[in-house]
Structure 1
Amino acid sequence: MTVYLMAGTLLLLVLIQAWVPYFVRTTEVFGIYVPEPYSQDAMLLKMKKRYAIVIGIAGSAAVLGYLAAFSRSSVPEEAAALWGIGLQFGLLLFSMALYLSNHFKVKEEKRLRQWTAGKKEKVVVDLDFRKDLQMVSGIAFLLPMVITGGLIFYTWINYASLPLQIPVHWGPGGEPDRFTEKSIFTGLSLPLVLLVMQVMFYSFNRSIKGSGAKIRASSRKRSRERELVSRKYGSLLLFIVSISSTLLLACLQLSIIHQEMGSALWIMGASVSFLILVLGAVAVYAVKVVKSGAGVEEVPADPGIMDANDDRVWKAGIFYFNREDPSLMVEKRFGIGWTINFGNPRSWLLLLLPLAILFGIAFAI
Structure 2
Amino acid sequence: MTIGLMVFIMVLLAAVQAFMPYLVKATEVFGIYVPEPHYRQEFIGRLKKNYSRLVLAGGLTSVLFYALAVNLLHIPEGQGVIWGVGLQLGIVAFSMALYFKNHLTVKKEKQQQGWVLGKKEKVIVDLQFRNDLEMVSGIAFLLPMLITVGLIALTLTHYTQLPDKIPAHWGADGQADRFSEKTIFSSISMPVILLIMQVLFYFMNQARKTSGSKISATQKAQSRKRELASRKYGSWLLFVTSISVTLLLGSLQLSLIYPELGGALWVMAMTIGFAILVLAGTALYTVKIAQFASSPAAGQSDSGIIDADNDRHWKAGIFYVNKEDPSIMVEKRFGIGWTVNLGNPKSWVMVFLPLAAILLIAFLVK
Same fold (TM over 0.5): yes
The 1-side partners of 2:80 and 2:297 are apart by: 51
Q: CA deviation at 1:77?
A: 1.5
**1:98–1:298 distance in 2 versus 1, CA, 3 Å:** closer
* TM-score with structure 1 setting the length: 0.97
For 1:165, the equivalent position in structure 2 comes to 165
User: How many residue pairs get matched?
Assistant: 364
The 2-side partners of 1:177 and 1:128 are apart by: 54
Give % identity. Answer: 54
Tell me if 1:322 matches 2:322: yes
- What amino acid does structure 1 have at the position aligned with 2:20? V
The 1-side partners of 2:69 and 2:126 are apart by: 55
For 1:187, the equivalent position in structure 2 comes to 187
Q: CA deviation at 1:72?
A: 5.0
Deviations 1:178-211 (A, max 9, x none): 1111111111011000000000000000100111
For 1:332, the equivalent position in structure 2 comes to 332
Q: CA deviation at 1:261?
A: 2.4
Q: CA deviation at 1:160?
A: 2.1
The residue matched to 1:39 in structure 2 has which SS? helix
The 1-side partners of 2:15 and 2:74 are apart by: 30
For 2:148, the equivalent position in structure 1 comes to 148
**1:235–1:60 distance in 2 versus 1, CA, 3 Å:** same
Q: Which runs of 5+ in 1 are unaligned?
A: none
Query: After superposition, where does 1:38-187 map in structure 2 within 5 Å?
Result: 38-71=38-71, 74-187=74-187
Deviations 1:28-83 (A, max 9, x none): 00000000211111111111111111110000000010010013584212211111
The residue matched to 1:226 in structure 2 has which SS? helix
For 1:35, the equivalent position in structure 2 comes to 35
- What amino acid does structure 1 have at the position aligned with 2:336? I
The 2-side partners of 1:43 and 1:292 are apart by: 22
Give yes or no for contact 2:22–2:293 (8 Å, CA) kept in 1. Answer: no
For 1:2, the equivalent position in structure 2 comes to 2
For 1:226, the equivalent position in structure 2 comes to 226
The 1-side partners of 2:172 and 2:165 are apart by: 20
The 1-side partners of 2:255 and 2:153 are apart by: 16
The 1-side partners of 2:248 and 2:62 are apart by: 29
For 1:282, the equivalent position in structure 2 comes to 282
The residue matched to 2:121 in structure 1 has which SS? strand
Q: CA deviation at 1:300?
A: 4.9
Tell me if 1:252 matches 2:252: yes
- What amino acid does structure 1 have at the position aligned with 2:213? A
Give yes or no for contact 1:124–1:217 (8 Å, CA) kept in 2. Answer: yes
Deviations 1:321-357 (A, max 9, x none): 1000000000000000000000111111111110111
For 2:360, the equivalent position in structure 1 comes to 360
Deviations 1:265-301 (A, max 9, x none): 111000001000000000100111112498x999756
The residue matched to 1:347 in structure 2 has which SS? helix
Give yes or no for contact 1:222–1:293 (8 Å, CA) kept in 2. Answer: no
Deviations 1:117-149 (A, max 9, x none): 221111111111111011001000000001101
The 1-side partners of 2:301 and 2:72 are apart by: 59
Deviates more, 1:346-355 or 1:154-163: 154-163
The 2-side partners of 1:71 and 1:180 are apart by: 35
Query: After superposition, where does 1:340-355 map in structure 2 within 5 Å?
Result: 340-355=340-355
Considering only aligned residues, what root-mean-square deviation do their CA atoms show, in Å? 1.6
Give yes or no for contact 2:18–2:51 (8 Å, CA) kept in 1. Answer: yes
Deviates more, 1:84-93 or 1:327-336: 84-93
Q: Which runs of 5+ in 2 are unaligned?
A: none
The 2-side partners of 1:235 and 1:268 are apart by: 27
The 1-side partners of 2:223 and 2:213 are apart by: 9
The residue matched to 2:40 in structure 1 has which SS? coil
The 2-side partners of 1:300 and 1:133 are apart by: 27
The residue matched to 1:230 in structure 2 has which SS? helix
Deviates more, 1:132-141 or 1:151-160: 151-160
The residue matched to 1:167 in structure 2 has which SS? strand
The 1-side partners of 2:298 and 2:121 are apart by: 19
The 2-side partners of 1:297 and 1:88 are apart by: 37
**1:299–1:34 distance in 2 versus 1, CA, 3 Å:** closer
Deviations 1:212-241 (A, max 9, x none): 100000101100010000000000000000
For 2:264, the equivalent position in structure 1 comes to 264
Q: CA deviation at 1:302?
A: 5.6
Q: CA deviation at 1:91?
A: 1.1
The residue matched to 1:168 in structure 2 has which SS? strand
The 1-side partners of 2:31 and 2:292 are apart by: 20
Give yes or no for contact 1:221–1:298 (8 Å, CA) kept in 2. Answer: no
For 2:241, the equivalent position in structure 1 comes to 241
The residue matched to 2:180 in structure 1 has which SS? strand
Q: CA deviation at 1:315?
A: 0.4
The residue matched to 1:234 in structure 2 has which SS? helix
- What amino acid does structure 1 have at the position aligned with 2:198? Q
- What amino acid does structure 2 have at the position aligned with 1:109? E
Q: CA deviation at 1:303?
A: 2.5
For 1:311, the equivalent position in structure 2 comes to 311
The residue matched to 1:178 in structure 2 has which SS? strand
The 2-side partners of 1:222 and 1:52 are apart by: 25
The residue matched to 1:174 in structure 2 has which SS? coil
